[in-house]
Amino acid sequence: MDNQQYFSPSPRSESNPAMFEVFFAGHTFSFMTDAGVFSKGELDKGTRLLLSSLPHDLEGDVLDLGCGWGAVGVITGRLYASAHITMVDINERAVQLAAANAERNRVRANVVQSDGLISVPGTFDCILLNPPIRAGKKTVYRLFEESAAKLKAGGAMYVVMRKQQGAQSGMRHLQTLFTKVTILDRSGGYRVFRCMGEPNDGI
C-alpha cells in the first residue's frame, strides 16, 4: 500500500499525480500530490490540527520535518511572512512535489531530501512534525531526538499524534527530551504537543 512506503527513499508505486485545492485560514492553496506519498489528495486531519495550533506570531527558521508533498511548509510559508521555511523528507518523490508546490503557491522554501535531519544544516526556531507512525516507534523517536538537538534556545517543536497510535507514550518520550511539553489540542482522537526547553538528559 502507498501509505506503507511513503517513508522509503524511493516509492515503488507507479506515479499517478493529481492536483487539488486546500482551503485554510481564509486562503486557497493548490497542491500536486502523487502515489507513494502520505495523504495523497487531501489535507489530513492531524496536519490540519497541527497547523491550527501554531502561534499567531510564528517567525524565524521553521522546519517542516517529514514534509510529504509540502502542506505544512507551504501553508506556514504563506501565512507567516517572517518565517523562513525548510522542508525535509526521506522520500524523493515527496521532495520533488514539495519543491514544486512551494513554487506553485509562491512560497520561498529550502527543500532537502534527508533521512531525518542527517543532511540538514543549521538549527531552527520552530520544528513541525506529523510523524510517520507506520515507520515504527524507533524511527519516530529518533526524529524526536534529532529535533531536540536542532532546536534553538527559546524555540518550540510542535508534534501531532493520534491517541490510538501512541500519543501517550510519545508524550512521555518527549518529556525526556524537553523541559516543558504542553498539550495544545486533544480533539478528534489526536493530541498536539508543544515542546520547549533544554533536554532533560533522560531525567
Q: What is the pLDDT of residue 35?
A: 82
Cell of 52: 491550527
User: In this structure, is residue 18 part of a structural domain?
Assistant: no
User: In this structure, is residue 87 part of a structural domain?
Assistant: yes
Q: What is the pLDDT of residue 12?
A: 63
User: In this structure, is residue 201 part of a structural domain?
Assistant: no
Q: How far apart are CA 117 and CA 90, in angstroms?
A: 10
Q: What is the pLDDT of residue 5?
A: 54
User: In this structure, is residue 144 part of a structural domain?
Assistant: yes
Give per-residue pLDDT as tens, 2-12: 444 555 566 66
Report CA-CA distances (Å) from 172 to 43, 166, 183, 197.
Answer: 27, 10, 12, 15
Average pLDDT taken over every residue of the chain = 90
Can you give the residue range of the structural domain that contains 113?
45-196
Please report, in angstroms and rounded to a whole number, the separation of the first and last CA atoms in the chain: 39
Specify the residue for cell string 531552527. Answer: 124
User: In this structure, is residue 174 part of a structural domain?
Assistant: yes
User: In this structure, is residue 15 part of a structural domain?
Assistant: no
Give per-residue pLDDT as tens, 128-186: 999 988 888 999 999 999 999 999 999 999 999 999 888 999 999 999 999 999 999 99
* Residue 15: CB atoms within 10 Å: 10
User: In this structure, is residue 97 part of a structural domain?
Assistant: yes
User: In this structure, is residue 173 part of a structural domain?
Assistant: yes
* Residue 71, pLDDT above cutoff 80: yes
Task: Please report, for the domain that includes residue 175, its CATH number.
Answer: 3.40.50.150
**Number of domains composing the chain:** 1
